Chains A and B, each alone.
Chain A
Amino acid sequence: MVSLADYGDYVTAWCPGCGNHAILKAMKHALVSLELAPQQVLFVSGIGQAAKAPHYLNANVFNGLHGRSLPVATGAKLCNTDLKVIVESGDGCVYGEGGNHFLAAIRRNIDLTLIVHNNQVYGLTKGQASPTSEPGFVTKNQPDGVFSLPFNPVEVAIAMNAGFVARGFSGKTEHLSGLIQAAVAHTGFSLVDILQPCVSFNKVNTFGWYNQRCYILSEDYDPTDRQAAFLKASEWGDGIPLGILYKNKRPAYEDHFPFVRRGPAATRALNVPRLAKVLDSYR
């Protein structure tokens, strides 16, 4: 039996009132519900406030570079498919610095879960605009407001036929925990974009702002209908839909490598007779 205690209880460096606390809680609950023990899970994160999250629970952790968590996770998963791999980082890290990896991970459909703490701002570097900041968003570094249009991650993911696309809100913690569970249980790439208030640097998209707009998709919403999903995903403003927006059954990337599911790469010994044959072919 896995219990919440297995995942520990750590003092964080986050601001009181930050949405990250609730995301951490939702994550631990999801892992416990899935009966996953800490040693079965690998968290890979980048750099940012969100990227610190894996340090605040017990699990395997690779906390790498800003923007580069997805390729690290891809390499790790391909060399040990027994691991449940969860990538956790911020909107700037995943959609900005690491944008190309986001697209490539969706194309591959590698079996991992991407959790994005989307606070529409760069928290750690003290409040610059992020790729999801809305036009007109004023910061110390964008004193005239943001000019560019925001990146809509769920819309892009559905357009690219991602395996599993969901949006959650840190303020609806139990719902969020359910989404994380479903995402981790999904075979193939799964994205959970999580709206997360940053109390220190985003005074526009506050808890109240999100809470007023976010609604949970109704029971009869069909996440396998891609056209409908696309419409839902583009909804942003007075109403912001939460839930599993889209999913499909694309084969996971690992399936293309016949040998990777036969245990971790580290344990596969060199096949010397085959090597001899390979070398012989250069005669």
Chain B
Amino acid sequence: MELDSINILIGGEAGQGLVTLSQILTRGLVRAGYYIVVTQSYQSRIRGGHNSYAIRVSDREIMAPKEPVDLLIALDQNSVVLHMSELSQHGLVVVDEAISSDQHPQIVYAPFSRIAGAMFSNSVALGTISALLGLNENTIGETLRGFFDKHGAESTKENLVSFSAGYEWMIQQKSEFPKLGPPALSEGRLALNGNEAIALGAIAAGMKFFSFYPMTPATSIATTLADHATEMEFVLEQAEDEIAAINMAVGASFSGAPSMVATSGGGFALMTETVSLAGMTETPVVIVVAQRPGPSTGLPTRTEQGDLEFVLHAGHGEFPRAIFTPGDVEEAFNITGKAFHIAQKFNTPVFILTDQFLADSYRSVKPFDLDTIDPVDPCSVSDVAVNRHITYVLTHTGVSPRTFPGMSGQCVKASSSQDLVIADSDEHTPDGHLTEDLSVRISMVEKRLRKLDGIKSELARPEFLGDSEPDLLLVCWGSTKGSTIEAANRLRKTGRRVATLHFTQIWPIIGEEFVEKLKSAGKTISVESNATGQFARLIRRETGFQIEKAILRYDGLPITPEYILAGLQT
């Protein structure tokens, strides 16, 4: 029997070491050269509750999660009860014999804790899974060693011995569970999730200041950055609240440092006054909003795309902004770099709108080409010909060249009392002082808004994939990319003409670039993780085009290809 991919689900309580086990397996699979898509689903608690970590693995390229479970590793009885019904035809459950012994043809009882005691039972489990999938014992063993060494654990040896014992035991069972084909990838790929990619993308973009207040699912951006702050010489600061976080970033940016903050909906709500401040003072700042279901505290650890309209309109008054919506991990890295460039070039707030699914979803990522890394250089744009710097000098693009306090053009140390930078949250004259001259007001409003034309000229264009003039066009944005494309691929195999249109940037939006595609389709359907179809509404508002139908999900779980295909039936 051959499968196009194997969907492994590891289930258990919080505090059982599930994440460690799963992450070692994730890294091992990537190191071995497989493609993976991880879906983490956890409850908002530190102990107990039910958590699951799904790894879909394949020897060919995959980009979406999958629903049926081929291999269930149950660390507790509850996981068997909860996930048995998701098991595919040929699916298998592996569970510790100490937990249960109900007879069932699809259940294998393994001596996880009998072999090594409760302390090391997860390493036995890792060995069992590795053998079952036909993975090279060494590759996974080395990954395990690396993981424990990195975390300074003293028990690396015991874990390795337990791992091998589990591996041996499984080999002897001579299971007929389908093995993975030989891995397709040889180059050393990176195992990264969406949040790690944003964090690393920001470092590569030349970020010099990051501030945050912890909030799931954004926190792991801060955690990742904290690992590298000293080495990469940027300031990382946990602020007293989100208002402080974004004001610090604005202050840092004002003094010349490319800056970023990361939060989720509730924390972002607190930041909105300062989003407007950044718009008014023309201070670049990159704002990551990792969405989770709202309103209010909502479902803290689940996923949703419910904050599109919020982020689009956040902040009082009118000023330009750009909103990027990465569709996968590689895009998350690259688009973060672009976000920094757009922010720096147009001196305005720029957003990266992601969500819990992508934040926590590990993928196998091709190493980034360091020759093409292009960090922003704040000093290069700060060139002014005039003697005295004018912070908000009127230009035809609306963009005023910047200098920074204490420095004149090109970051040369300021030597004259003419080299001053004056910024004001009040309406201001070109030299930065507050004014109530209403004709100045008009020219300043127009100056700021003119920058949107420049932002439009550097748009990340929507990606059209599939058959031209399709019978069916699926429209999506952000993290639903992979599932939508895979659903389309499956439909195409049934003989339909299908295409997808994915947006990595949802603001600004230029109708001329894609409306013809929408019109050319027999039927258009939007795919969104929210209850009201916010993106379809935005397209209608901006272009007049009404997308016919929506497939929406708002139970907190990610949209899967199966969910889309089922939605098409109704």
Roughly how many angstroms separate A25 CA and B157 CA in the complex, as a whole number? Answer: 71
B509 within 8 Å of A by Cβ? no
The smallest beta-carbon distance between A82 and chain B, in angstroms, is: 5
A58, B417: Cβ atoms closer than 8 Å: yes
A62, B375: Cβ atoms closer than 8 Å: no
The smallest beta-carbon distance between A206 and chain B, in angstroms, is: 28
Q: Which residues of B contact A267 (CB under 8 A)?
A: 256, 379, 411
A83, B406: Cβ atoms closer than 8 Å: yes
Q: Which residues of A contact B367 (CB under 8 A)?
A: 279
A231 within 8 Å of B by Cβ? no
B252, A283: Cβ atoms closer than 8 Å: no
Q: Which residues of B contact A77 (CB under 8 A)?
A: 251, 255
B190 within 8 Å of A by Cβ? yes
- A-B interface, 5 closest residue pairs, ranked by CB to CB distance from nearest: A266-B256, A75-B251, A72-B251, A75-B248, A75-B252
Residue of B nearest to A63 (CB): B424
The smallest beta-carbon distance between B280 and chain A, in angstroms, is: 9
Q: Which residues of B contact A272 (CB under 8 A)?
A: 370, 373
When each residue 234-258 of chain B gets 1 if its CB lies under 8 Å from chain A and 0 otherwise, what string results?
Answer: 1101011101110111111111110
Q: Which residues of A contact B416 (CB under 8 A)?
A: 39
B200, A65: Cβ atoms closer than 8 Å: no
> Other than the known A55-B422, A75-B247, A100-B240, what 16 A-B pairs have Cβ atoms closer than 8 Å?
A55-B424, A70-B244, A73-B251, A74-B248, A75-B237, A75-B248, A76-B251, A78-B235, A79-B208, A101-B244, A259-B230, A264-B407, A268-B208, A274-B231, A278-B228, A283-B188
Roughly how many angstroms separate A268 CA and B254 CA in the complex, as a whole number? Answer: 16
Q: Which residues of B contact A37 (CB under 8 A)?
A: 417
B414 within 8 Å of A by Cβ? yes
A103, B240: Cβ atoms closer than 8 Å: yes
B469 within 8 Å of A by Cβ? no
B471 within 8 Å of A by Cβ? no
Q: Which residues of A contact B546 (CB under 8 A)?
A: none
Roughly how many angstroms separate A101 CA and B247 CA in the complex, as a whole number? Answer: 11
Give which listed residue, B240, B257, B273, contacts A104 with CB less than 8 A: B240
Q: Which residues of B contact A59 (CB under 8 A)?
A: 420
B235, A42: Cβ atoms closer than 8 Å: no
The smallest beta-carbon distance between B418 and chain A, in angstroms, is: 8
A100, B241: Cβ atoms closer than 8 Å: yes
The smallest beta-carbon distance between B89 and chain A, in angstroms, is: 36
User: Which of B189, B245, B253 has the most C-beta atoms of chain A within 10 angstroms of its own C-beta?
Assistant: B253
Taking A39-B420, A275-B370, A278-B231 as contacts, is the C-beta distance between A265 and B255 under 8 angstroms?
Answer: yes
B411, A65: Cβ atoms closer than 8 Å: no
Q: Which residues of A contact B430 (CB under 8 A)?
A: none
Taking A58-B417, A63-B426, A266-B208 as contacts, is the C-beta distance between A257 and B251 under 8 angstroms?
Answer: no
Give which listed residue, B245, B255, B434, contacts A83 with CB less than 8 A: B255
Q: Which residues of B contact A72 (CB under 8 A)?
A: 247-248, 250-251, 254
Roughly how many angstroms separate A72 CA and B278 CA in the complex, as a whole number? Answer: 11
Roughly how many angstroms separate A278 CA and B228 CA in the complex, as a whole number? Answer: 7
Roughly how many angstroms separate A71 CA and B250 CA in the complex, as a whole number? Answer: 9
Q: Which residues of B contact A63 (CB under 8 A)?
A: 422-426, 434
- Give the A interface residue count (CB, 8 A): 57
Q: Which residues of B contact A268 (CB under 8 A)?
A: 208, 233
Roughly how many angstroms separate A107 CA and B257 CA in the complex, as a whole number? Answer: 24
A204 within 8 Å of B by Cβ? no
Residue of A nearest to B248 (CB): A75
B355 within 8 Å of A by Cβ? no
A78, B237: Cβ atoms closer than 8 Å: yes
Residues of A within 8 A of B (CB): 6, 37-40, 42, 44, 47, 52, 55, 58-65, 68, 70-80, 82-83, 100-101, 103-104, 257-260, 264-272, 274-279, 282-283
A79, B417: Cβ atoms closer than 8 Å: no
B248, A71: Cβ atoms closer than 8 Å: yes
Taking A72-B250, A104-B244, A278-B232 as contacts, is the C-beta distance between A80 and B191 under 8 angstroms?
Answer: no
Taking A60-B420, A61-B423, A270-B204 as contacts, is the C-beta distance between A74 and B251 under 8 angstroms?
Answer: yes
Roughly how many angstroms separate A254 CA and B204 CA in the complex, as a whole number? Answer: 24
The smallest beta-carbon distance between B334 and chain A, in angstroms, is: 14
B305 within 8 Å of A by Cβ? no
When each residue 373-400 of chain B gets 1 if its CB lies under 8 Å from chain A and 0 otherwise, what string results?
Answer: 1010111000000000000000000000
Roughly how many angstroms separate A80 CA and B378 CA in the complex, as a whole number? Answer: 13
A71, B379: Cβ atoms closer than 8 Å: no
Q: Is the interface of B mostly helix, strand, loop or mixed?
A: mixed
Roughly how many angstroms separate A62 CA and B281 CA in the complex, as a whole number? Answer: 9
A266, B200: Cβ atoms closer than 8 Å: no
Q: Which residues of A contact B228 (CB under 8 A)?
A: 278
B209, A79: Cβ atoms closer than 8 Å: yes
Roughly how many angstroms separate A257 CA and B273 CA in the complex, as a whole number? Answer: 29
The smallest beta-carbon distance between B390 and chain A, in angstroms, is: 14
A278, B254: Cβ atoms closer than 8 Å: no
B190, A282: Cβ atoms closer than 8 Å: yes
Taking A39-B414, A42-B255, A63-B423 as contacts, is the C-beta distance between A264 and B406 under 8 angstroms?
Answer: yes
A40, B406: Cβ atoms closer than 8 Å: yes
Q: Which residues of B contact A275 (CB under 8 A)?
A: 203-204, 232, 370, 373
Taking A52-B434, A278-B200, A283-B189 as contacts, is the C-beta distance between A80 and B248 under 8 angstroms?
Answer: no
Q: Which residues of A contact B421 (CB under 8 A)?
A: 60-61
B263 within 8 Å of A by Cβ? no
Residue of B nearest to A39 (CB): B414
The smallest beta-carbon distance between B472 and chain A, in angstroms, is: 38
Q: Which residues of A contact B240 (CB under 8 A)?
A: 100-101, 103-104
A-B contact pairs, 19 of them (CB 8 A): A37-B417, A38-B417, A52-B434, A60-B420, A61-B423, A63-B423, A68-B243, A68-B277, A73-B251, A75-B248, A75-B250, A75-B254, A79-B257, A259-B233, A270-B206, A270-B375, A275-B204, A279-B367, A283-B191
Roughly how many angstroms separate A9 CA and B237 CA in the complex, as a whole number? Answer: 38
B203, A278: Cβ atoms closer than 8 Å: yes
A60, B251: Cβ atoms closer than 8 Å: no
Q: Which residues of A contact B239 (CB under 8 A)?
A: 71, 104
Residue of B nearest to A54 (CB): B422
Residue of B nearest to A40 (CB): B406
B192 within 8 Å of A by Cβ? yes
The smallest beta-carbon distance between B222 and chain A, in angstroms, is: 16
Q: Which residues of A contact B481 (CB under 8 A)?
A: none
Roughly how many angstroms separate A135 CA and B196 CA in the complex, as a whole number? Answer: 53
B479 within 8 Å of A by Cβ? no
Q: Which residues of A contact B422 (CB under 8 A)?
A: 55, 60-61, 63
A76, B405: Cβ atoms closer than 8 Å: yes
Residue of B nearest to A102 (CB): B240
B162 within 8 Å of A by Cβ? no
Roughly how many angstroms separate A40 CA and B414 CA in the complex, as a whole number? Answer: 8
Taking A65-B274, A83-B405 as contacts, is the C-beta distance between A47 and B425 under 8 angstroms?
Answer: yes
Q: Which residues of A contact B456 (CB under 8 A)?
A: none
Residue of A nearest to B191 (CB): A282
The smallest beta-carbon distance between B143 and chain A, in angstroms, is: 10
The smallest beta-carbon distance between B80 and chain A, in angstroms, is: 33
Residue of A nearest to B402 (CB): A266
